[in-house]
Structure 1
Amino acid sequence: MKRSDIAALLLLGALWGASFLFMRMGADAFGSMPLAGLRAIGAALCFAPMLASRRYMTELRAHWRPIAVVGLTNSALPYVLFSYAAQSLPAGLSAIFDAITPLLVAASGWLWLSEKLDTPRILGLLIGLAGVLWLVGDTAGLGHGNAHAGWAMAACVGATVCYAFSVHYSHRRLRTVSPMSTTAGSQIVAALLLTPSTIWQWPAQTPSTQAWLAMLGLAVACTAVAYLLFFRLIARVGAARSMTVLYLIPAFGVLWGTLFLGETFTMAMAVGCVVILLGTALTTGLIRFRPTTAAGTVAAVEET
């Protein structure tokens, strides 16, 4: 990759990692439902100019049903669940839980879609699960001073389950639709779904300026701009290389939480993060095992 592409990849990781910081900053002031709704509404407004394009409108009209499903499972529900978790969990910990998405994608494909997994990927799933259990045990022991920490962790896992479902569903139902149409349409659907609850549960006390800035950063920078940057990266370096951003999100999430919120990054969290990322790297094929001969050379695989 060129230096500009590496810089764009780091920026994307920083933006998506910052989403957990902004949710943590705004969740208490807005509440989980209004914050999730404002995030979707803000992103939808950023993508609204695309509706003037005949190409995108044609795709949206032709595929509105599966796009609506993706809007629910890849945007609306995860936004609500992560916003809820942000009221109890540190931003860094929520970001680490987000890293299990590729593990769930692989596991669900194996269990329900009969997709084959080789030994390294199965090993990666087991290692990643061990990392999650390690984090859950550590967090439950610490409690983070909040009795709702267990529900918050369940919400994080629930959000990643939604993401995993969306990956398989989009691959099957929206393979021929441009990613930009799917993203814009899903944000619009999420905004429509969450607007009633945003109005109904609007906080009685006006949120602070800091909370509003966090919400704007979440909607504009971490959602709309990040998706545009993501699609630009896919066009330049391909989907496989672009997906390496998944390994950057936990690191940036922990970094921003530590720098701006004074969150403590414990050794147990570090171990859990490393174990999850190792499992993810094995599951996604970033780390591969190759058979070697007795002399240590890579054994050639003959095609028959």
Structure 2
Amino acid sequence: MMTSSTRLLWTYTTLLLTALIWGGTWIAGRVLVQEVAPFSAAFLRFFFATCAMGLLVWRTEPQAFKLARQHWLTAALLGLTGVFAYNFFFMVGLQHIAAGRGSLVVALNPVVVAVAAWLLLKEPLNGKQWGGVVIALCGCILVLSNGDPRRFLGSNSAADNTAAAVGLGEYLIIGCVLAWTAYTLQCKRVGQRLSPIATNFWACASGCAMLLLATTFENQLLGEGAQTHLHWWQLYHFSLSAWTCVLYLGVAGSALSYTWYTQGIQKIGATRAAAFINFVPVFGVLLGALMLGERLPTSVYFGGGLILAGVLITNQLRTRIS
């Protein structure tokens, strides 16, 4: 039987592994959207995620297949925010931004979640936690701007892609931040009514249905860009790398990691769980440099160090969890 300290350590470990997996999703997503249209890529991701979660529900909580009528709206909202909206911004954004830079933008997530949880859920933030949030935000600014915050105002060298000012890709990925914040707060609210496994299964299933509907209008919604890519019904034309990315995104990047993240929210709170998302850009940049050859600016190391420091401060074990 696990002690309370062991359970807490396991929660922190799974949240860290979740960040590593999500760091890899930026690489997989970047590769996938070069070949597959965004809505189709997202639909396939969550089709396999729903299948994987369905097997888990069948083995552990078969009663979760029967969703009470009063939870239908909750499931739809979880699917809308955490699956449909997030993956729209994620997949379309990765057509305009490098995987490493995209993963850096999500460093804003813990700051937005912390403030939103403080405002809407009345989750307390003590002085040290606010300090951690500020430090993490400073690290995020340094990483995004490569050490020059003036780039947020549009001052950049056109010859240096890594020094580019904040543009369309970054704004689309910021949509991920807003969608994920809404999903995180909803997970916190449903924690007492649905188990993490049930929450994740129904979020994946409802979001997958929305994405399937969107693929029907993909060419009209996304224009010429979608017409030059493969769609989910052309999956027999997919390359091996595309299939590998789809399975990674669906099974590891969605089914497993979403479950761990939901468990983390329900055990240690929305603010603390979301703070681990600060690790995602660090892993994303490192993996992007290693696997895609994306340039890794020196400022990323210092900014990444500030991000990690902010996470550690925000998640001090001795801080009382409300």
Point out the more displaced range, 160-169 or 47-56: 47-56
Matches within 5 A, 1:254-293: 254-282=285-313, 284-286=314-316
**Cα deviation 1:245-298 (Å, max 9, x = unaligned):** 54543333222211210111111222332333333433x333879xxxxxxxxx
Point out the more displaced range, 74-83 or 168-177: 168-177
Residue 221 of structure 2: aligned partner: none
| Residue type at the aligned position of 2:90 | F
| Residue type at the aligned position of 2:34 | D
**Over the residues paired in the alignment, what is the CA RMSD in angstroms?**
3.5
Unmatched 5+ stretches in structure 1: 290-304
Tell me how far apart the structure 2 counterparts of residues 205 and 165 of structure 1 sit (CA, whole Å).
30
Matches within 5 A, 1:105-124: 105-124=113-132
For the pair shown, the structure with the greater C-alpha radius of gyration is 1
Tell me how far apart the structure 2 counterparts of residues 99 and 14 of structure 1 sit (CA, whole Å).
14
Q: Is the 8 A contact 2:113 2:274 kept in 1?
A: no
**Cα deviation 1:161-191 (Å, max 9, x = unaligned):** 2222222222224432101101000000111
- Change in Cα spacing, 1:81 to 1:178, as seen in structure 2 (3 Å) is same
Matches within 5 A, 1:81-160: 81-138=89-146, 141=156, 145=161, 150-160=167-177
Q: Is the 8 A contact 2:276 2:311 kept in 1?
A: no
The TM-score normalised by the length of structure 1 is 0.77
Q: Is the 8 A contact 2:104 2:144 kept in 1?
A: no
Tell me how far apart the structure 2 counterparts of residues 242 and 205 of structure 1 sit (CA, whole Å).
36
SS at match of 1:270: helix
1:215 CA displacement:
1.9
Residue 49 of structure 2: aligned partner: 43
- The answer to whether the aligner puts 1:223 opposite 2:229 as a matched pair is no
1:7 CA displacement:
7.9
- The answer to whether the aligner puts 1:208 opposite 2:239 as a matched pair is yes
SS at match of 2:34: helix
- The answer to whether the aligner puts 1:178 opposite 2:195 as a matched pair is yes
Task: State how many pairs are aligned.
Answer: 284
Matches within 5 A, 1:161-172: 161-172=178-189
Tell me how far apart the structure 2 counterparts of residues 287 and 57 of structure 1 sit (CA, whole Å).
36
Residue 63 of structure 2: aligned partner: 55
1:86 CA displacement:
1.6
Q: Is the 8 A contact 1:60 1:67 kept in 2?
A: no
**Cα deviation 1:117-142 (Å, max 9, x = unaligned):** 32222223333333333344347635
Q: Is the 8 A contact 1:30 1:203 kept in 2?
A: no
1:239 CA displacement:
4.8
1:8 CA displacement:
6.2
Tell me how far apart the structure 1 counterparts of residues 240 and 296 of structure 2 sit (CA, whole Å).
28
Residue 3 of structure 2: aligned partner: none
- The answer to whether the aligner puts 1:34 opposite 2:43 as a matched pair is no
Identity %: 24
Matches within 5 A, 1:6-17: 11-17=17-23
Point out the more displaced range, 136-145 or 167-176: 136-145
Tell me how far apart the structure 1 counterparts of residues 108 and 242 of structure 2 sit (CA, whole Å).
28
SS at match of 1:30: coil
Point out the more displaced range, 252-261 or 52-61: 52-61
Unmatched 5+ stretches in structure 2: 1-5, 219-225, 231-237
| Residue type at the aligned position of 2:177 | T
Q: Is the 8 A contact 1:14 1:249 kept in 2?
A: yes
- Change in Cα spacing, 1:131 to 1:60, as seen in structure 2 (3 Å) is farther
Tell me how far apart the structure 1 counterparts of residues 211 and 182 of structure 2 sit (CA, whole Å).
20
Q: Is the 8 A contact 1:81 1:155 kept in 2?
A: yes
Tell me how far apart the structure 1 counterparts of residues 138 and 27 of structure 2 sit (CA, whole Å).
26
The TM-score normalised by the length of structure 2 is 0.73
Q: Is the 8 A contact 2:96 2:169 kept in 1?
A: yes
- Change in Cα spacing, 1:166 to 1:242, as seen in structure 2 (3 Å) is closer
1:148 CA displacement:
9.5
- Change in Cα spacing, 1:60 to 1:24, as seen in structure 2 (3 Å) is farther
